[in-house]
Amino acid sequence: MGQREAIYGSYTPGRGKQEGHHFSAETCAAVDREFKPARDLVRQWCGAEAAESFAELRILRAEVIRLGGIVEQAVGMLRQAGKNRDAAKIEAQFEIPVEVFRRMTPPG
């Protein structure tokens, strides 16, 4: 229901032999008022906040990929310097295998 139906009413066509039905503007306005809080809540869930959350998720994912590249570089430098134990310790603390970052691409 919407503003138009609250002014003019609404017609629901029938099926087969069943006749259609006209809902008065008053009935449409009452239904619109009754369900408005639920519709507003659904719009809130699916609207701007969800889009902002998705944008934030993309930014965070890009940052994780960037930091993973830095960790990968640091681990490589440690290995070149003969610090294999330190490199392995950093990889273990990071909890994500450095090789995973080679396969990841930043969101575009």
In what helix (H) or strand (E) does residue 22 lie, and over which residues does it extend?
strand 21-23
* Tens digit of each residue's pLDDT (9 = 90 or more) over 41-76: 887 777 766 667 778 888 888 888 888 888 889 999
Nearest-10 Cα torsion for 75, 77, 79, 81: -150
pLDDT at 79: 94
Ordered by start, the domain boundaries in the chain are 3-35, 49-103
Q: Which residue, chain included where needed, has tokens 């009413």?
A: 9
Query: Which residue type occupies 30?
Result: A
Per-residue pLDDT, averaged over 85-105, amounts to: 76
Q: pLDDT of 12-35, one tens digit each? A: 887 877 788 888 888 888 888 898
